[in-house]
Amino acid sequence: ASEGKDGASAAENTPPRVPQGKLGERSSVFYSAGQFFFEYLVVVSLKKMPDGRYEPKITYQFPKRENLLKGQKEEEERLLQAIPLFCFPDGNNWAPITEFTSETFSFVLTNVDGSRKIGYCRRLLPSGRGVRLPEVFCIISCLGCFGLFSKILDEVEKRRQISMAVIYPFMQGLRESPFPAPGKTVTIKSFIPESGTELIELTRPVDAHLEHVEFQALLQRLSPHLILHIFASAMLERRLIFLAEELSVLSQCIHAVAALLYPFTWAHTYIPVVPECLLDTVCCPTPFMVGIQMRHLERVLEQPMEEALIVDLCEGKIIRAVGDEEEILPGKLQNEMLISLNRHNNNNNVHTSEQVNALVSEAFVHFFVRLVGHYASHIKWGRSGSGSFQERAFCKAITSKSCRRLVKKFVKTNMFSLFIEEAEKSRIPQEGNG
């Protein structure tokens, strides 16, 4: 976790990096199978402070780590300090309550060495009578698979309503199981008092690069036209702010926007839910993609920030724009994408979220193939095997003026540079050349 302006740990982070191959080619392995499902399960509870306010604190950590080297201990302490902040990003304006609908959301933390960890959270009200405070069960993992961890959190919540003691044997069984390959299933045995032994099947989606995404969440809240304006802004690495009250809506929608850029990767500040104490993130002069709870809208608008696209996910509208969003994408390609995005409403054969994910992803991958798919033929290979990208010739090869205008801006972005750096290293030897 990197340091925020006020010294608090902040998630200046990026989504998990996608291994690069040919443009439009599906990555068959997003995360290698056989890894641990998770590093930690932590329980974050609200503790009453002397001034009467409640502050989030870690009250349980599983497994407890011992025999760590000094550097590892420091890194773990930084991680554990950041977690409560992101489990209760809406500040400490809490009071004991009798009813609360549980919610699921996630955050991403980037370590100093660039490695990433994802926090999968379930905020719930423990069973009982009378007023009580919500708590968060947070699973910290290096693996990006929201659907799978959501199912795991369902099991955690079910056990929490019986007893905390029933959760840990289940998590131990999960920890001892290997993370399945795409399309494969792992079965966990779990004993629940009065119910006996249960077999829980966890299946990983076939398409690994879409397993952390729920495009339906975005399509339900924004028009296809507006989604394209947001995509165009993200493609040019501008500042994007998303507003909603529910943490689950913010995290789902921001993960979906970042996934529209595949096979490129957002390489700047990326905080799906900004904690209240880090709201001045919106003053950063560098690109960012952040989610902020609607209750903080006035405070955000008062900040001395530079040009940004501000999107209201509740009303499905833009609150503030740069003004040129309509002109960024070439007209012909934009119309093709609008037709593809509208198809999810009209095609009665598309039912499941996996089908919607595939349909949407294909439209955006196809856009990149049409726009920059010729990049490989403009990498000049030296005798040593290292490649050198010929940017000028690459841009010159584009016949459409509107496409060339966009590509000239896109090649200057961090995400394109990172993609090309990987491509320059990854020459596949030709047959007969060894």
- Taking only the tens place, the pLDDT of each residue in 77-93 is 777 888 998 999 886 67
Cα R_g (the chain), whole angstroms? 23
Q: How far apart are CA 277 and CA 279, in angstroms?
A: 6
DSSP state of 166: G
Class (C level, CATH) for 215-340 = alpha beta
Residue pLDDT, tens place only, 367-414: 999 999 999 899 998 887 788 999 999 999 999 999 999 999 999 999
- Confidence (pLDDT) at 27: 34
What residue type is 139 in one-letter code?
I
pLDDT given for residue 28 in this prediction? 31
Q: Which amino acid is at 204?
A: R
Q: Which of 24-33, 57-66, 181-190, 194-203 comes out lowest in average pLDDT?
A: 24-33
Q: In one letter, which amino acid is 385?
A: G
User: What is the domain partition of the chain in residue ranges?
Assistant: 40-206, 215-340
pLDDT at 347 (0 to 100): 54
What does the pLDDT look like over 228-261, one tens digit per residue? 999 999 999 999 999 999 999 999 999 999 999 9
The DSSP code sequence of 111-136 is -TTS-EEEEEEEEEPPS-SS-B--EE
pLDDT at 415 (0 to 100): 92
Q: Which residues contact 310 (CB under 8 A, 6 or more apart)?
A: 241, 243, 300, 318, 319, 320, 321
Which class for 78: exposed (0-12), middle (13-18), buried (19 or more C-beta within 10 A)?
Answer: middle
- Contacts (Cβ under 8 Å, ≥6 apart) of 35: 142, 143, 178, 179
Q: In the beta sheet, which residues pair with residue 60?
A: 43
pLDDT band at 2 (very low <50, low <70, confident <90, very high): very low
Hey, what CATH topology would domain 40-206 get? Beta-Lactamase (3.30.450)
Domains 40-206 and 215-340 agree in fold? no
Helix, strand, coil % in the chain, rounded to nearest 5 = 40, 20, 40
* Joined tokens for residue 29: 């392995």
pLDDT at 297 over 60: yes
Question: Is the pLDDT score of 38 beyond 50?
Answer: yes
> Whole-model pTM?
0.81
CA angle 62, 271, 178 (to 5 degrees): 35
Per-residue pLDDT at 241: 96
CA distances to 11, 33, 388, 414, 423 from 417, in Å = 23, 29, 12, 5, 10
Structure tokens at 7: 């010294």
Calpha distance 160→137 (Å, rounded)? 10
Q: Are 89 and 275 in contact (CB under 8 A)?
A: yes
State both tokens at 66.
């011992």
